[in-house]
Structure 1
């Protein structure tokens, strides 16, 4: 009984921390597929690409709080770009227009927490990427029966697997998933961090 109670308390704390982190990411998106060049101007490049492909000509430098590449540089790798919008309205406009990126080689994704990213990967392996999407940081899935479900935990996922045990690997390889390690889960130049000022300078060079 004590062990069960302790596990419940741990799950509650983990869930609370995850929810708090998710609220902090409401104005974030990840842009992947952008080639890296030396002395690049990440902010200007991101802005031009979004204007071009999404048709959002009203976007300008003031639409962003900041943006930067995610993770350490690795030759040959196109690191995703973290976009932190100045308002939730602008973020919603960009997210709504993301389907226009089809065929461009660019992908917009929500900046999921570590736990939700892991859940997304697990659900994707079973149900396939074409039946999976995220909305406001939550994972949603369309089952083989056509019903739609919000999956907030592994317990909910396991219940769906019991109802729909058929594995769907045929369309999992095409998933534009951006892996985010625990060390990268919070932007290094978020407001209040020690790297914030330095990152802002780098995006404007």
Structure 2
């Protein structure tokens, strides 16, 4: 079960508890009006129990969120030497490492960039019959210097069909896409796994989670969401 499923299960459990407590509270109030002397003590105990459970669930939800964020940070750190390359033509029985290094070298002039700079290299996803959809390629570099050299010179790919992006975790990718929908592509970018956003007040904000994104000021006007 991933982080999102854990959060969903927690929210469902809390919602069910609130519903059942509300139903029981209504029945208890009705019974209290009929037998005030015998129900008053039970009502007081119920309120204490309800407050205890609600507090416990809130604490548990906070701990689950903190744990999920910690796991996400560890996963993102493990991807620090990785990049995604999009738009590289795909062929049957291809030598992916040679294909991707030659494709990038044709546009990005980084000295000594070759297959020996890659620890691992593979395409993501299953092979499909849709020839128009190219699977992205995951690159894991042997050292950070070469990874950063490719990342810092990716603007040389402008005008080609090839793009380079960071290999974000599932949750951070969702936050990044939500940020682009809200503020526009030109106002959102990533660096070292963090999502950076230029808000309407021209401030630069750094976020990791959807909760952090939601508290940022809303755009003052509609922004473009296409390149």
TM-score (norm 1): 0.80
Indicate the structure whose relative CO is greater, using CA pairs within 8 Å and at least 6 residues apart: 1
Instruction: Determine which structure has more spread, i.e. the larger CA radius of gyration.
Output: 2
- 1:185 equivalent in structure 2: none
* Partners of 2:201 and 2:219 in 1: CA distance: 12
Where does residue 30 of structure 2 map in the other structure? Answer: none
The structure where helix makes up a greater share of residues is 2
Look up the match of 1:58. 112
Question: In the comparison of the two structures, how many residue pairs are matched?
Answer: 171
Structure 2 SS opposite 1:157 = helix
Does the 8 A contact of 2:200 with 2:219 survive in 1? no
Cα separation, 2, equivalents of 1:152 and 1:82: 22
Task: Pick which of 95-104 and 46-55 moved more.
Answer: 46-55
Instruction: Output the aligned Cα RMSD.
Output: 1.2
Q: Which runs of 5+ in 1 are unaligned?
A: 175-205
- Aligned equivalent of 2:163: 107
After TM superposition, give the deviation of residue 164 of structure 1 in Å: 2.4
Give secondary structure in 1 for the equivalent of 2:181. helix
Per-residue CA deviation, residues 67-119 of structure 1 (Å, 9 max, x unaligned), is 01100011221000001100011101110000100001110000000110011
Q: How does 1:23-102 map to 2 (within 5 A)?
A: 23-74=77-128, 75-76=130-131, 77-102=133-158
- The answer to whether structure 1 residue 136 and structure 2 residue 192 are counterparts is yes
Measure the CA separation in 1 of the matches of 2:170 and 2:103. 27
Task: Give structure 2 stretches of 5+ with no counterpart.
Answer: 1-54
| Runs of 4+ with deviation above 3 angstroms | 165-169
Q: Secondary structure at the match of 1:78?
A: coil
Q: Distance in 1 between matches of 2:73 and 2:221?
A: 30
User: For the Cα contact (< 8 Å) 2:84–2:166, is it kept in 1?
Assistant: yes
TM-score when scaled to structure 2?
0.72
